[in-house]
Amino acid sequence: MNYLIYAGVGIVLVALQVLFSRFLSIAGASPDFVLIFLVWITIREGQFVGETSGFALGLILDIFSSGILGAHTLSKTVACFLIGFFYDPEKIEQHVRNWPFLLLTLLAAVINNFLFYFLYTRASEISFIEFAFRYGAVGALYTVVIAILPVLYWSRRRAY
Amino acid sequence: MKRILDILIAFKEYVALAAYVAAALVLIGISQSTDVMPLRAFTTGVVGVIQSSTSWIMNPFTLSRENAELRQQAIELASEVGRLRRSKVENDELRRLLGIGMRPEWKLLPAEVVGKTTTFERNMITLSRGESDGVAKGMAVVTDAGLVGKIYSTSAHFSLVEMLFNRDFRAAAKVGRTRVEGIVAWDGGPTLVMRNVPKALDVQVGDLIVSSEYSTFFPAEVPIGTVLKIQPEPNSLFRSVTVEPTVNLFRVEHVYVVLKDINLEQERLTLEQKAKDDATKQALKK
């Protein structure tokens, strides 16, 4: 049942990402809602479920974003796999409701963005280093700022 | 067999990673293939329908500023149209006298921008016109100010446009004043770049860059941008020319699709020849 809910939420977030991220775009960089959700899944369910979700949602994102087919799939799968090493069944709540979630989101966003932009800038006139720092780093920080909202929500839910 | 299965289960995270990475790499390999075009057409249709129903959302924020800009533009264009009409008559007469054939007239299809994604990894716009209106992949998209991009994929009633700020954008172009030729591409920032322009050739800041007649995707003489900066490439005889697009790609609302038969093979050959020339120049530099 949980997995069905994850799938439903994931698809809604992909739709939000594709259709409405332009409203939140700052200097060409936009937050990655799907990645925040994937980090949350990985922390809660572990490496295998995380990377599988990364693959599935990355693939749907690739299909609907009309970009390089497979780029989001690869970057999100690898990011979730690496974040999966921080999975600890005894510290799930502690990780999700506190600053470790933000730290892991930052790590995931950096891995995801740099891998994605490496594939994106391949065989083009665009400089990878310049592009990755200009949009990848700003995008990663922006994603972390947005990730503060669910952390605040979950920590308040615990308080009451 | 059971032992192998046990090992696979014990290392399922790594096995899954290997499988997913392999699948992703295969997808990257076929990303530009024509086999995925039906999928692209389907997603263009789905995204187009949703975006067309929400396209009004951005308008209230930009409407007032755009109206002011459009009024100003209308005044400027009205006087320019008069000048151009006189020039066209003179030009046609001179061409006839010199025996040069007339340029083909392009049939323009007006289209409304119903969706826009201007995050830098994905600079695309969705148009309210599709295959049922005669739009096809590869057709040029322009405004009165210049080139916007080309059609990337189409569905029955919508089409997706790859704008100039796109990793795959390339256009055979020339300096309007001196006819110096080159290929314009996106440099990853808010400008375009024309590389490997020999230092000896005449290019100046402020020059207009227009599409070349060698391009079959884009009609000739359509403004692409103006020269913003000219930088020497270190230890070489060439310069890199930074070009600022004439169209404000982030605020474009109405465009025209240039309806014409596109000769993809001619475009491919042109770009291949240019790439060979560039490679020769690079070799000469070394």
Q: What are the pLDDT digits (tens) for B66-98?
A: 677 777 777 777 777 877 877 877 777 777 777
Helix (H) / strand (E) containing A64:
helix A47-65
Q: Using one digit for the tens of pLDDT, what is the confidence trace for B196-244?
A: 788 888 888 999 999 888 877 888 888 999 999 998 877 778 888 999 9
Q: Using one digit for the tens of pLDDT, what is the confidence trace for B89-130?
A: 777 777 777 766 555 567 888 888 888 776 666 678 889 888
Q: Using one digit for the tens of pLDDT, what is the confidence trace for B130-176?
A: 889 989 888 999 988 889 999 988 888 889 898 888 888 888 889 88
**Is the Cβ pair B16, A52 closer than 8 Å?**
yes
Q: Measured between CA atoms, how close is B149 to chain A, in angstroms?
A: 15
Mean pLDDT of chain B: 81
Show residues of chain A in contact with B27, CB under 8 Å. Answer: 59, 62, 69-70, 73
Spatial neighbors of A160 by CB under 8 A, at least 6 apart, are none
Report pTM.
Answer: 0.72
Measured CA to CA, the distance from residue B64 to residue B75 in angstroms comes to 17
Show residues of chain A in contact with B36, CB under 8 Å. Answer: 69
Show residues of chain A in contact with B191, CB under 8 Å. Answer: none
Q: Measured between CA atoms, how close is A20 to chain B, in angstroms?
A: 8
Question: Residue B190 half-sphere exposure, CB side, CA atoms within 13 Å?
Answer: 9
| 3-state secondary structure at position A133 | helix
Q: Measured between CA atoms, how close is B3 to chain A, in angstroms?
A: 21
One-letter identity of residue B60: P
Q: Using one digit for the tens of pLDDT, what is the confidence trace for A85-96?
A: 999 888 888 888
Helices in chain B by DSSP H: which ranges?
2-10, 12-29, 37-54, 59-98, 264-285
Show residues of chain A in contact with B115, CB under 8 Å. Answer: 19
Question: Residue B211 half-sphere exposure, CB side, CA atoms within 13 Å?
Answer: 27
Inform me whether the pLDDT recorded for A47 exceeds 80. yes
| 3-state secondary structure at position B107 | strand
What string of DSSP letters covers B44-83? HHHHHHHHHHHTTTTHHHHHHHHHHHHHHHHHHHHHHHHH
